[in-house]
């Protein structure tokens, strides 16, 4: 009892001494408090996680254009892979096409979310009008907007849609290599633009696109090489 009384009196003394105390959080209350070191000769202070969080900077115009353009770019790649089940029986090519379709469809959703979270439109606009606006007026914006680097022309897409068997395989591989090469150009242009690509999430995403599509280009080039033998 004497020991308990000593601890109680000591606790009351420190509570009344006016010295700052660091409140202890229970595991149920979350993580440990964030302590910000004070200036020389001054005490440290506790700040909340909300105050410690770095505010999200507004994306550069080039960042937004990159994401909007890459959504359009990826959409054509998905359109190309959608032709495969009825145009080829090449198992290796079908497997590659499935992988491209899944990864780029997922990336389209991610890019749309990135733009929406920053209050930006998910589609490129022409004269302030989106694709939905143009469609409502009876116009096909996809045929009016400039193609992103590497995208297949309407004539190339039509030829691919008409082909089958080995001819389709060859057109698909050469077309997708061209397509992927355009994506690499878009990433390079982004990083070459002053003030762009500073968003850490965007930087990692664009770098991943570059790495993935370079690897897929090598795979498709190897498939084309097999056609010659």
192 CB neighbour count, 10 Å cutoff: 10
Nearest-Å Rg of the Cα atoms of the chain is 28
pLDDT of residue 11: 46
CA atoms within 13 A on the CB side of 35: 11
In CATH terms, 61-227 corresponds, of 3.90.1150.10, 1.20.1260.10, 1.10.10.10, 1.10.10.60, to 1.20.1260.10
| Residues paired with 35 in a beta bridge | 46
Rounded to the nearest angstrom, the gap between the alpha carbon of residue 228 and the centroid of all alpha carbons in its chain is: 37
101 CB neighbour count, 10 Å cutoff: 18
pLDDT of residue 51: 41
Please spell the DSSP secondary structure of 58-105, one letter per residue.
PPPHHHHHHHHHHHHHHHHHHHHHHTHHHH---HHHHHHHHHHHHHHH
Average confidence (pLDDT) over 182-209: 96
103-132: burial string, b at 16+ Cβ within 10 Å, e else: bbeebbeebbebbeeeebebbbeeeebebe
The Cα 35–Cα 52 span in angstroms is: 10
**Per-residue model confidence as pLDDT tens digits over 14-47:** 444 444 444 444 444 445 555 444 444 545 555 4
Rounded to the nearest angstrom, the gap between the alpha carbon of residue 83 and the centroid of all alpha carbons in its chain is: 25
Give the helix/strand (H/E) hosting 117.
helix 91-117
pTM of the model: 0.70
Calculate ∠ Cα 131-81-86, nearest 5°.
Answer: 115
Chain-wide mean pLDDT for the chain? 80
CB neighbour class for 159 (10 Å; exposed up to 12, middle 13-18, buried from 19): middle
Confidence of residue 52 (pLDDT cuts 50, 70, 90): very low
Sign of CA dihedral 58, 63, 69, 72: negative
Give the helix/strand (H/E) hosting 35.
strand 34-36
Q: Tokens for 157?
A: 């897409």
pLDDT for 126 beyond 90: no
Domain ranges within the chain, ordered by starting residue: 61-227
pLDDT of residue 125: 76
**Per-residue model confidence as pLDDT tens digits over 99-115:** 999 999 999 999 999 99
The Cα 183–Cα 187 span in angstroms is: 6
pLDDT for 191 beyond 90: yes
């Amino acid at each position: 009892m004497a020991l308990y009384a000593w601890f109680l009196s000591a606790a009351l003394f420190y509570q009344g001494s006016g010295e700052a105390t660091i409140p202890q959080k229970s595991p149920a209350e979350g993580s440990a408090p964030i302590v910000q070191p004070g200036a020389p000769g001054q005490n440290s202070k506790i700040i909340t996680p909300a105050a410690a969080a770095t505010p999200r900077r507004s994306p550069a115009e080039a960042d937004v254009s990159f994401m909007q353009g890459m959504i359009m770019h990826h959409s054509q790649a998905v359109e190309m892979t959608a032709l495969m089940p009825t145009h080829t029986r090449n198992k290796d090519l079908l497997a590659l096409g499935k992988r491209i379709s899944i990864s780029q469809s997922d990336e389209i959703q991610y890019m749309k979310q990135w733009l929406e979270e920053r209050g930006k439109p998910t589609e490129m606009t022409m004269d302030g009008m989106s694709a939905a606006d143009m469609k409502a007026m009876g116009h096909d914006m996809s045929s009016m907007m400039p193609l992103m680097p590497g995208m297949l022309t309407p004539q190339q897409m039509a030829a691919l849609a008409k082909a089958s068997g080995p001819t389709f395989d060859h057109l698909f591989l050469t077309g997708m290599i061209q397509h992927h090469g355009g994506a690499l150009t878009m990433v390079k242009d982004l990083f070459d633009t002053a003030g762009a690509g500073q968003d850490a999430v965007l930087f990692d995403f664009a770098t991943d696109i570059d790495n993935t599509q370079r690897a897929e280009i090598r795979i498709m080039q190897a498939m084309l090489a097999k056609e010659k033998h």
